[in-house]
């Protein structure tokens, strides 16, 4: 309750005074609204009534977007920018200004980085030892906007409802993955994981990387931005795969299609190893029941024996149909070397905090 009262009170105080803000006051207000978790609609509604006393430029709007503002708030900021063009530029102190963005690597450096990443990706599966881990898959659903079920309210996103939690014994032996379902909602089961109703996913240990970087895929890469992932400064490249070169299968259990896709690759600046890969299908057939499909997989360093390996850490798979949105959160825990006697612990670890997979801007 206090966290909702504070921003509301801040709005009242500002409204009671003149609705004219300096750029510094605008920054302070938006930082407070994010910290207090004020909704996108509330912030945008207030900004629609504000007048600026100084000029708001494009660069400041971009900097404010990095706070994690919602789309309505960003649109309101752009409106303020347009209205303030005749005003004098803000005289911010140098201590308030952010340093110039870090320049991207040169074209030659980018090519060399991608060559290293390609070699790493194509040899990734062969470089891994045999091991076992616990995969926890939490499956969520929500009503799709405009579908036959009730549409989620507001602009804050879907109202996800947990459907079930699957605990899986995932073994990697002789470069092959094996998925054995152990628990469903913490109850022991003999069900076949691959035949479970609802969305399931496999191939997290190297398939995505290999398919993107195989020469026959002819993936097109471009520089995107700098980022920090779990304290690792990272190169981020965008990529695109044409449908005729794609090997990504999306299935509704009755029909299987192979779509074009695009996404981002996050590469550790120091090691040139992949920390995150994202995929999003492009041009799904109108007749296919799945309208959108997206996959995100984070890798992190895990110790096996006396060595560290980059292994799947946390992933998210999303799909959309006409009526239902689905989301699978996949987490990987308790890695250890494989042996025929290896057994999974019969419990479900707590969820990995979102902060562990949140991208941080490069400073």
Per-residue confidence of the chain (363 residues) as pLDDT tens digits?
Answer: 444 434 443 444 444 344 678 888 888 888 878 877 788 888 888 888 888 888 888 888 888 888 888 888 888 888 888 888 887 766 544 345 556 678 899 999 999 999 999 999 999 888 888 888 899 999 999 988 777 766 554 556 788 999 999 999 988 888 888 889 999 998 999 998 878 877 777 766 678 899 999 999 999 999 999 999 999 999 999 999 999 999 998 887 788 899 999 999 999 999 999 999 999 999 999 899 999 999 999 999 998 888 889 999 999 999 999 889 999 999 999 898 877 555 556 677 888 888 888 888 765
In this structure, what token pair is assigned to residue 336?
Answer: 């250890």
% helix, strand, coil for the chain, step of 5: 25, 35, 40
| pTM over cut 0.75 | no
Taking CB atoms within 8 Å and a gap of at least 24, the contacts of 220-225 are 221/110, 221/114, 221/265, 223/104, 223/105, 223/110, 224/264, 225/104, 225/362
Report the pLDDT value the prediction gives residue 3, as an integer from 0 to 100. Answer: 41
User: Alpha helices, DSSP H only, in the chain?
Assistant: 2-16, 23-35, 40-47, 58-65, 71-83, 107-127, 207-213
Residues 6+ apart with CB under 8 A from 190: none
Question: What is the four-CA torsion angle of 264, 268, 272, 275, rounded to 10 degrees?
Answer: -50
Q: Are 337 and 174 in contact (CB under 8 A)?
A: no
Report the pLDDT value the prediction gives residue 111, as an integer from 0 to 100. Answer: 97
In this structure, what token pair is assigned to residue 244?
Answer: 């005729």
Q: Where are the domains of the chain?
A: 2-83, 107-361
Bridge-partner residues for 317, per DSSP? Answer: 295, 328
């Amino acid at each position: 309750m206090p966290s909702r009262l504070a921003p509301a009170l801040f709005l009242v105080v500002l409204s009671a005074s003149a609705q004219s803000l300096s750029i510094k006051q605008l920054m302070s207000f938006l930082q407070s609204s994010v910290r207090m978790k004020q909704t996108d609609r509330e912030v945008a509604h207030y900004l629609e009534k504000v007048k600026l006393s100084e000029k708001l430029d494009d660069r400041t709007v971009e900097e404010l977007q990095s706070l994690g503002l919602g789309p309505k708030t960003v649109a309101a900021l752009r409106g303020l920018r347009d209205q303030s063009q005749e005003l004098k530029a803000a005289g911010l102190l140098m201590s308030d200004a952010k340093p110039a963005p870090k320049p991207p690597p040169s074209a030659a450096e980018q090519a060399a980085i991608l060559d290293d990443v390609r070699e790493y990706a194509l040899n990734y599966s062969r470089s891994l030892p045999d091991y076992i881990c616990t995969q926890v898959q939490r499956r969520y659903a929500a009503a799709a906007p405009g579908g036959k079920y009730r549409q989620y309210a507001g602009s804050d996103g879907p109202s996800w409802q947990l459907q079930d939690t699957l605990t899986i014994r995932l073994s990697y032996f002789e470069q092959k993955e094996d998925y054995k379902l152990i628990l469903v909602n913490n109850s022991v089961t003999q069900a076949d994981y691959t035949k479970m109703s609802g969305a399931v996913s496999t191939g997290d240990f190297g398939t995505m990387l290999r398919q993107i970087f195989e020469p026959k895929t002819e993936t097109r890469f471009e520089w995107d931005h700098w980022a920090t992932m779990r304290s690792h400064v990272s190169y981020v490249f965008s990529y695109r795969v044409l449908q005729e070169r794609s090997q990504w299968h999306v299935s509704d259990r009755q029909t299987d299609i192979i779509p074009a896709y695009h996404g981002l690759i996050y590469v550790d600046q120091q090691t040139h190893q992949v920390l995150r890969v994202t995929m999003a299908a492009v041009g799904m057939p109108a007749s296919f029941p799945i309208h959108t499909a997206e996959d995100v997989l984070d890798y992190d360093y895990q110790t096996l024996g006396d060595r560290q390996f980059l292994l799947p850490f946390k992933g998210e798979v999303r799909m959309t149909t006409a009526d239902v949105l689905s989301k699978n959160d996949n987490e990987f825990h308790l890695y250890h070397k494989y042996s025929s006697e290896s057994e999974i612990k019969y419990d479900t670890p707590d969820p990995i905090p979102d902060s562990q997979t949140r991208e941080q801007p490069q400073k």
